[in-house]
Amino acid sequence: MTEDAALSDADVQSVRAFLQEYQRSLCASFEAAEAGPQIFRQDSWEREEGGGGITRVLEDGATFEKGGVNFSHVAGARLPDSATAARPELAGRAFQAMGVSVVMHPRNPMAPTSHANFRFFLATCPDRPPVWWFGGGYDLTPYYGFEEDCRHWHRTAATACAAYGADVYRSYKRWCDRYFHLPHRGEQRGIGGLFFDDLNEGGFERCFSLLRDVAASYPQAYLPIVERRAQLPWTEAERAFQEYRRGRYVEFNLVYDRGTLFGLQTGGRTESILMSLPPVVRWQYDRRAEPGSREAQLTDFFLRPRDWLAEDLAPEPGQEA
Amino acid sequence: MTEDAALSDADVQSVRAFLQEYQRSLCASFEAAEAGPQIFRQDSWEREEGGGGITRVLEDGATFEKGGVNFSHVAGARLPDSATAARPELAGRAFQAMGVSVVMHPRNPMAPTSHANFRFFLATCPDRPPVWWFGGGYDLTPYYGFEEDCRHWHRTAATACAAYGADVYRSYKRWCDRYFHLPHRGEQRGIGGLFFDDLNEGGFERCFSLLRDVAASYPQAYLPIVERRAQLPWTEAERAFQEYRRGRYVEFNLVYDRGTLFGLQTGGRTESILMSLPPVVRWQYDRRAEPGSREAQLTDFFLRPRDWLAEDLAPEPGQEA
């Protein structure tokens, strides 16, 4: 990664404009997919240290039991270590960070939760050009697995990355599998997707274009799945399993997620950060699924990293049974 | 704190025997207080690195929706930093740790959740006598506050500490208030109680006696409150508020609690560690209580550290409105 003297104020403003428009259009798409009358409410907030955001939340919908689409643009005097795991030498610089983050929790246990995040960082320093980078991605957390959905999700992600290099999808897909892992459960959070950080390779135009293409592909990846699954019938036992599995989502976000912990520990707006938590969650002691059941299949098959583009759904290297 | 050459194997065994008997008798008391037929189930487990434990869990009771009483005795080659915040110089020594930890979640929103923990550590080193210490305490998390309950809880705690010095209760009470604090919410987890760590002042006999007296007072502090409140009528709205407030319990345990994080990150038995999490939890975006309502009173009055023994329920120093 190199410093890029060519970055202009107009570039920074164009990222901001893109993210704000993305928030608006995503909310509109989710409202269109919502079977009931619920819409996103909106809260604008400011941060004492600089910047602020717009939080949009939909609750108690017919399709989406809870969902949030957050835009924020904050500035600070000292970049914390957690903002860039790969380059601790930037810690302590003044910075700007802007991003959109999304978590959607459908009501129907057959429909998966999804998460997406797109962000841009600028680390500034007197007398030197700023260092900038993009990060982002999206991942899917099913409660009941459907091969067709997993293939569609990953195919859409791979298509979005294809123009940027032969290995981009695979590399971001593996990064996603590494990141969304719960060591204390020995489980993945979901079936993965894309995750990237510290992206500035190839210059601003290429990176911003990659971010835009991946961002545009997220609703294409997610909405057809929600439309297929949110109509399926479900039982009380399946609903209880969904509520139980949502506990894993809480455990990941509160114990491991860098963005969440960074936000909570540095005085971010708590309600905006924790809008990601599911609406109703259950914890039961040592719950085990009936061997061979669909509940067992979730962890035994779907939550094991594999190549969702391969005919035989091969496990990722090192994940063979 | 000084090293204590006088500690014998028999002393260590007597702590273990006390903790095991304490687990048994606590479970018996909770079963006696349980209005339905539910009893504690029991799981014994071993740890690869040495030691193990007995986890006892009651679920779906009439009085207790979920409760756990955990005994563990583990040994390790290297004491982690998090085990003793006050003396990092002991990190890296071989150690033994034994303890009982308890979390009880009543079903009725008028009845508070309680937590207790009693533990003993030994840090050993070749050629030198072991360093040992006790830690423990208990704290109460109401959803609907009752002054009478808070006074009884703290009076019982103060009585248990009285023989050990004029300032023991106040000092452990303030330690508890400092520990059970959620910075990202600007809230206390509950109304506090007692918290102590690194206790070896005055020798083994005194410290063990203090631990036993505090441990014995925990069911005396808690059960009369449960008996009074678990019979009260409640509404669906009050139940929803309890489920919402339980979210704070999850946030504290997963983001801040030293014991939980230490356990999860060092390969403890996940199901035993997370038995503390409530059975059903709700997160709602930016929920606010009606000013002056009982729900507002919880945070406005009960969750602000105060002197529950004073006639006028004075705020703790620095907590004045």
Contact state of A285 with B275 under an 8 Å Cβ cutoff: yes
* Best residue in B187, B284, B288, B299 for a mutation probing chain A (most A CBs within 10 Å): B284
3-state helix, strand, coil in chain B (%, to 5): 40, 25, 30
Q: Give contacts of B277 with chain A, Cβ < 8 Å.
A: 247, 283
Contact state of B283 with A283 under an 8 Å Cβ cutoff: no
Q: Looking at this predicted complex, what is its ipTM?
A: 0.94
Q: Which residue of B has its CA nearest to A40?
A: B285
Among A250, A255, A283, select the one facing B279 at the smallest CB separation: A283
- Per-residue pLDDT, averaged over B178-189, amounts to 96
* Best residue in A285, A287, A288 for a mutation probing chain B (most B CBs within 10 Å): A285
Among A59, A283, A286, select the one facing B284 at the smallest CB separation: A59
Max mean pLDDT range (A310-314, B84-88, B100-104, B262-266): B100-104
Q: Give contacts of B257 with chain A, Cβ < 8 Å.
A: none
What average pLDDT does chain B have?
Answer: 93
DSSP H stretches of helix in chain A = 9-33, 147-161, 168-179, 204-229, 236-251, 258-265, 270-273, 294-297
The whole-number pLDDT of residue A84 equals: 67
Of A60, A156, A54, A56, the closest CA to residue A103 belongs to: A56
A5 pLDDT band, cuts 50/70/90, is low
The whole-number pLDDT of residue B212 equals: 98
**Residue B262: pLDDT over 80:** no
- Per-residue pLDDT, averaged over B249-274, amounts to 89
Q: Tokens 């600028």 — which residue?
A: A122
Q: Which residue of A has its CA nearest to B43?
A: A286
Of B126, B154, B113, the closest CA to residue B281 belongs to: B113
Q: Give contacts of B254 with chain A, Cβ < 8 Å.
A: 250-251, 254-255
Which positions of B are annotated as active-site residues?
115
- Per-residue pLDDT, averaged over B174-193, amounts to 97
Among A43, A55, A254, select the one facing B254 at the smallest CB separation: A254
- Per-residue pLDDT, averaged over B258-272, amounts to 84
Contact state of B271 with A281 under an 8 Å Cβ cutoff: no
Dist. CA B155–CA B137, nearest whole Å? 14
Q: Tokens 């110089």 — which residue?
A: B89
Dist. CA B255–CA A98, nearest whole Å? 24
Which positions of A are annotated as active-site residues?
115
A–B: how many Cβ contacts below 8 A?
81
- Distance from the Cα of B229 to chain A's closest Cα (Å) equals 24
The whole-number pLDDT of residue B222 equals: 98
Among A43, A185, A243, select the one facing B270 at the smallest CB separation: A185
Q: Which residue of A has its CA nearest to B40?
A: A285
Dist. CA A103–CA A275, nearest whole Å? 8
Contact criterion met (CB below 8 Å) for A95 and A71: no
The whole-number pLDDT of residue B4 equals: 52
Helix (H, G, I), strand (E, B) or coil at A7: coil
pLDDT, one tens digit per residue, over A247-260 is: 999 999 999 998 89
Which of the residue ranges A193-202, B109-118, B255-264 would you say has the lowest mean pLDDT?
B255-264
- Distance from the Cα of B298 to chain A's closest Cα (Å) equals 19
User: pTM for the complete prediction?
Assistant: 0.95
Contact state of A283 with B277 under an 8 Å Cβ cutoff: yes
- Per-residue pLDDT, averaged over A71-78, amounts to 89
Residues of B with CB under 8 A from a CB of A: 43, 55, 57, 59, 66, 68, 183-185, 243, 247, 250-251, 254-255, 261, 264-265, 270-271, 273-275, 277-286
The whole-number pLDDT of residue A321 equals: 63
Contact state of B261 with A255 under an 8 Å Cβ cutoff: yes
- Distance from the Cα of A282 to chain B's closest Cα (Å) equals 5
Angle, nearest 10°, between helix axes A9-33 and A204-229?
10
- Distance from the Cα of A269 to chain B's closest Cα (Å) equals 8
A128 has which bridge partners? A125
What average pLDDT does chain A have?
Answer: 93
Q: What is the DSSP string of A286-310?
A: T--PPTTSHHHHIIIIITS-B-TTS
Contact state of B264 with A184 under an 8 Å Cβ cutoff: yes
Contact state of B250 with A255 under an 8 Å Cβ cutoff: no
Of A106, A199, A99, the closest CA to residue A144 belongs to: A106
Among B66, B247, B254, select the one facing A251 at the smallest CB separation: B254
Of A220, A177, A183, the closest CA to residue A196 belongs to: A177
pLDDT, one tens digit per residue, over A200-233 is: 999 999 999 999 999 999 999 999 999 999 999 9
* Best residue in A39, A58, A258, A286 for a mutation probing chain B (most B CBs within 10 Å): A286
The whole-number pLDDT of residue B47 equals: 86
* Best residue in A185, A187, A283, A284 for a mutation probing chain B (most B CBs within 10 Å): A283
Structure tokens of A206? 């290429």
According to DSSP, residue A126 is labeled T
- Distance from the Cα of A80 to chain B's closest Cα (Å) equals 17
Helix (H, G, I), strand (E, B) or coil at B150: helix
Residue predicted with more confidence, A139 or A94: A139
Q: Give contacts of B283 with chain A, Cβ < 8 Å.
A: 66, 274, 277-279, 281
CB neighbour class for A72 (10 Å; exposed up to 12, middle 13-18, buried from 19): buried
Helix (H, G, I), strand (E, B) or coil at B40: coil
**Residue B199: pLDDT over 70:** yes
Q: Give contacts of B251 with chain A, Cβ < 8 Å.
A: 254, 274
Among A261, A279, A284, select the one facing B283 at the smallest CB separation: A279
**Residue B43: pLDDT over 60:** yes
- Distance from the Cα of A254 to chain B's closest Cα (Å) equals 6
Dist. CA B142–CA B150, nearest whole Å? 9
- Per-residue pLDDT, averaged over B89-108, amounts to 92
Contact state of A255 with B271 under an 8 Å Cβ cutoff: no
Q: Which residue of A has its CA nearest to B272?
A: A285
Contact state of B281 with A281 under an 8 Å Cβ cutoff: yes
Q: Give contacts of B273 with chain A, Cβ < 8 Å.
A: 184
Contact criterion met (CB below 8 Å) for B124 and B133: no
